[in-house]
Amino acid sequence: MIPYVPLERRSFRLHMGLRPLELSRWLEFDEDAESVLALRARLIDLERARVVALDEAGLAPSEELLGVLREHLTRWHPGRGGPPGSDHPLVEAARLVEEDLCVMVREDAWRLRAAVVCFPSRWDLREKIGATLREIHGPVPGYEASLGDPVDAFFDRIGEGRAFWRLNWTLLETPELFVPEGARAAPGGDLADWYFRVERQTFRRLPESGAVVFTIRTYVARASALAARDPDFVEVLVDQMASAPPAMQAYKGWAGVAERLEARRRASSRPDR
Ligand code: HEM
């Protein structure tokens, strides 16, 4: 079962939702770690052009990140360090952890300069490398107006030795972790066919280069299992999806899903005649 179900009992809102994070909790390993690490290694080897993107400007911060990450593993996850390899330092780092890793460098604006993203949720890393935060989020409805300035300011202000985290979720038709593309069409079928996908994202600054490391940890659970565990799950899910603006519903691939779920919920709670 997944450790986070970030559904709020309120209308949908586009917000940063950042919380301070204790550095000891920067990275997470769970009982699936070995299979996830094996999948990551396979994707790096077989799909390298789609999961690894590296600019020259990302090399020094990636070397710094590998050192910071190894120290972190030694201290908080002993036994997870692994032997040194000869690949790019970000790829070495990404082979050791369940998180995807992105290195953001401050130039004219914050730009993505190195990334290993094995588990994208319907976006293409090749289109994002070198892009600014605003360009990366170009397809996200409302980002420019409500999040553009606050996110840029947050990146400028992240203090050394501090970390932050946020959660993001969506519904997909597949439990696959590597979803590099796909129509943003609403999932077909019903709750029993859907998967609730959560991203736990963290942010921290590297002390020497000043670059910001953005990590994405992806968790997936059957929506029906979450509904069985929490009797309010479907109701809150419906409220969240139905209250999102139409452009956001289209972007997330939710159009019509809330109505379908709500109709089913009403039908199943109607007393038998
Ligand atoms: C505080 C910082 C950030 C906030 C508040 C934020 C917020 C968001 C939001 C609201 C979305 C829409 C997706 C959804 O809700 O499911 C999104 C998508 C996305 N974000 Fe961020 N984000 C942040 C940082 C970053 C960083 C540092 C990267 C660097 C790689 C990034 C990469 C993306 C990508 C690739 C997408 C998908 C865009 C697409 O559909 O093409 N985000 N982000």
Q: What is the pLDDT of residues 154-181, one digit of tens each?
A: 999 999 889 999 999 999 989 999 999 8
Q: Is 139 in the pocket of ligand 1 (CB under 6 A)?
A: yes
43-61 in b/e form (b: 16+ CB < 10 A) is: bbeeeeebbbbbeebbbbb
CA of 141 to the centre of ligand 1 (A): 11
Tell which one of 55, 137, 164 to mutate to probe ligand 1, the residue whose CB is within 8 A of the most ligand atoms.
137
Residue 102 lies in a domain: yes
Residue 269 lies in a domain: no
Residue 132 lies in a domain: yes
Residue 160 lies in a domain: yes
Q: Is 136 in the pocket of ligand 1 (CB under 6 A)?
A: yes
State the pLDDT at residue 271: 62
Closest to 107 in 3D by CA, of 211, 236, 197: 211
Residue 90 lies in a domain: yes
State the pLDDT at residue 190: 84
Residue 228 lies in a domain: no
CA of 138 to the centre of ligand 1 (A): 10
As to burial, measured by CB atoms within 10 angstroms (0-12 exposed, 13-18 middle, 19+ buried), residue 38 is exposed
Neighbours of 207 (CB within 10 A): 11
| Residue with CA at minimum distance from ligand 1 atom 38 | 137
What's the total number of domains in the chain? 1
pLDDT digits (tens, 9 = 90+) for 212-255: 999 999 999 999 999 999 999 999 999 999 999 999 999 999 88
Q: Answer whether residue 101 shows pLDDT above 80.
A: yes
State the pLDDT at residue 258: 87
CA of 137 to the centre of ligand 1 (A): 6
Band (119; pLDDT cuts 50, 70, 90): very high
Residue 97 lies in a domain: yes
pTM of the prediction?
0.96
For residue 152, the enclosing domain spans 19-167+193-222
| Residue with CA at minimum distance from ligand 1 atom 6 | 16
Residue 153 lies in a domain: yes
